[in-house]
Amino acid sequence: MVNTLHSRQREFVKRKFDPSSKADLAIYKQFISSGTWGQTTCPFEAEWPHLTIPGMIASKISEYAVRNI
């Protein structure tokens, strides 16, 4: 049982959303279009002070766009 949980935990490693990454933006676009993260769970971790991952991503994309004007 412990080995199964440990191996499953590695499948769901969360990472920080990178607004400059086309791969991360494509994952978010798919979420916006379908309302789901796909066959797996959301790959991103929530960062302080954000309460939701979609809200955090929208904020990070906005900040990134304004910073690069």
| C-alpha dihedral (22, 33, 54, 18), degrees to nearest 10 | 0
**Residue 56 is inside which H or E element, if any?**
helix 53-67
The DSSP letter of residue 52 is: S
Q: pTM score, two decimals?
A: 0.81
Handedness of CA 25, 30, 36, 42 (dihedral sign): negative
Q: What is the pLDDT of residue 39?
A: 82
Q: Which residues share a beta bridge with 44?
A: 15
Distance CA(14)–CA(51), nearest Å, equals 16
pLDDT at 38: 83
